[in-house]
Amino acid sequence: MTVRLRIVVLGLLLVGLGLGLVGHSVWKDQRRARLVGLTDSACSPAGRSITGSDYDDWGGLCFYRAANTALRREGLHPEVVMIGDSITMGWPTLGTQVVNRGVGGQTSSQILLRFRQDALDLGPRVIHLMLGSNDVFGLTGPVTLDQIDGNIRSMADQARLHGAVLILGTLPPSKGFGGLFEPDPSPAIARVNARLRLLARQEGLVLADYHAALAHPDGSIREELFTDGIHPNAAGYAAMQPVYRAALSEAERRRGR
């Protein structure tokens, strides 16, 4: 073994030892923070596990838990629950009978995880579901079209069992992801929206085609309707409102049958 090779091997061993020590230190810190399992107060400071880590509340279940408890305590049941990601979260107020349960940055898997708590358990007649943009951007890792489809079908099944009509919104057009998403997301968005339209027909869901309201005829984004190429601005939400109202009227018609 040459002197140079010996130096390289020794360097690799030292790097490995350093990583091992770092991993051990992180694990010791996690144990020091104390993992919390079964508890009656999951969202209290005492009930959080390794505060500040991704393991603490991956699904965002703590985001609306207190608000949901307050609604149930008062015996209130909203007519409509809007659940989704940041595009739903930023939606202008639609009245006292509509409850917003959007959480920024969430993918379809995370929304499925909190669907019962943040939508079904509130007893709405209509559930407005809008998701998929963050799946396209891969915010919780790679995902297939079938996985997104399966997550939505699971939510559609649950809504049906609870007697709620599900409105399914298409993905708005997008221009990158704040510079982080290098390829043009339009082809991926088009694939997801094609599947959403098919899924709505197969499952008997009400489709709200927001993409058509926010895009040019060629499918490109109408940039004047967005703040950052991702989130609608006031004019963008205004353009979405007629689509929402038409979908809600259809959902209420079906619910009255």
Q: Give residue for tokens 């929206």.
A: 193
- The model's confidence at residue 5, banded by pLDDT at 50, 70 and 90, is very low
Give the residue-averaged pLDDT of 32-51.
79
Instruction: Quote the pLDDT of residue 31.
Output: 47
- The model's confidence at residue 178, banded by pLDDT at 50, 70 and 90, is low
pLDDT tens sequence across 138-156: 999 999 999 999 999 999 9
- The model's confidence at residue 2, banded by pLDDT at 50, 70 and 90, is low
Nearest to 178 by CA among 123, 222, 236, 139: 139
**Domain locations along the chain:** 65-255
pTM of the model: 0.85
CB proximity list for 128: less than 8 A, separation 6 or greater: 80, 81, 82, 83, 84, 88, 167, 169, 208, 244, 247, 248
Whether the per-residue pLDDT at 228 is higher than 50: the answer is yes
> SS in 3 state form for the chain?
CCHHHHHHHHHHHHHHHHHHHHHHHHHHHHHHHCCCCCCCCCCCHHHCCCCCCCCCCCCCCCCCHHHHHHHHHCCCCCCEEEEECHHHHCCCCCCCCEEEEECCCCCHHHHHHCHHHHCHHHCCCEEEEECCHHHHHCECECCCHHHHHHHHHHHHHHHHHCCCEEEEECCCCCCCCCCCCCCCCHHHHHHHHHHHHHHHHHHCCEEECHHHHHECCCCCECHHHECCCCCECHHHHHHHHHHHHHHHHHHHHHHCC
Nearest to 194 by CA among 149, 231, 230, 156: 149
Give the mean pLDDT of the chain. 87
Q: Give residue for tokens 């500040």.
A: 52
Instruction: Quote the pLDDT of residue 37.
Output: 84
**Which bin fits 236, alpha (ψ -120 to 50), beta or left (φ > 0)?**
alpha
- Which of the pair, 39 or 16, is modelled with greater confidence? 39
Whether the per-residue pLDDT at 160 is higher than 70: the answer is yes
Look at the domain 65-255 and name its fold. Answer: Rossmann fold (3.40.50)
Nearest to 156 by CA among 194, 189, 108, 205: 205
pLDDT tens sequence across 22-31: 444 444 454 4
- Which of the pair, 152 or 54, is modelled with greater confidence? 152
Give the residue-averaged pLDDT of 66-78.
93
- The model's confidence at residue 246, banded by pLDDT at 50, 70 and 90, is very high
Instruction: Quote the pLDDT of residue 45.
Output: 82
